[in-house]
Amino acid sequence: MQAPASPRGFADDEALLREILEEVIAAGEGDHALALHRRAVALGQALRGGDEAAGLELEALVGSASVDDLQVLIRSLTRWFQLVNLAEDNERVRRLRIRESAEAPAPRRGSLRDAIGRLAADGVEAHELASLLAHADVELVMTAHPTEARRRTTLQKLARIFATLRALDERRGTPSALVTARQRLAAAIQELWASDEIRAVSPTVLDEVRTGLMYFTSTLAEVVPALYRDLEAAVAEVYPDEDVPVPPLLRFGSWMGGDRDGNPYVTPEVTLEALEVMRDACLRFLYDQAVRLAERVSLSTRLVGGAEALDAVLADGAERFPDLTADLDARNPEEPYRRAFSLIARPAAGHA
Average of per-residue pLDDT across 34-44: 97
pLDDT band at 129 (very low <50, low <70, confident <90, very high): very high
pLDDT confidence of residue 148 = 54
pLDDT tops 60 at residue 6 = no
242-291 pLDDT tens trace? 999 999 999 998 888 888 877 888 899 999 999 999 999 999 999 999 99
pLDDT at residue 116 in the model: 96
What residue type is 20 in one-letter code? Answer: I
b/e per residue, 254-286, with b = 16+ CB within 10 A? Answer: bbbbbbeeeeeebeeebbebbeebbeebbbbbb
pLDDT, tens only, 278-333 = 999 999 999 999 999 999 999 999 999 989 999 999 999 999 999 999 999 999 99
At 200, the pLDDT band (50, 70, 90 cuts) reads: low
The answer to whether 13 and 185 are in contact (CB under 8 A) is no
Is residue 5's pLDDT more than 50? no
Map residue 267 onto helix, strand or coil: coil
Residue 208's pLDDT band (cuts 50, 70, 90)? confident
Task: Give the chain's mean pLDDT.
Answer: 90
Q: What is the mean pLDDT of residues 159-184?
A: 86
Rg of the chain in Å (alpha carbons): 26
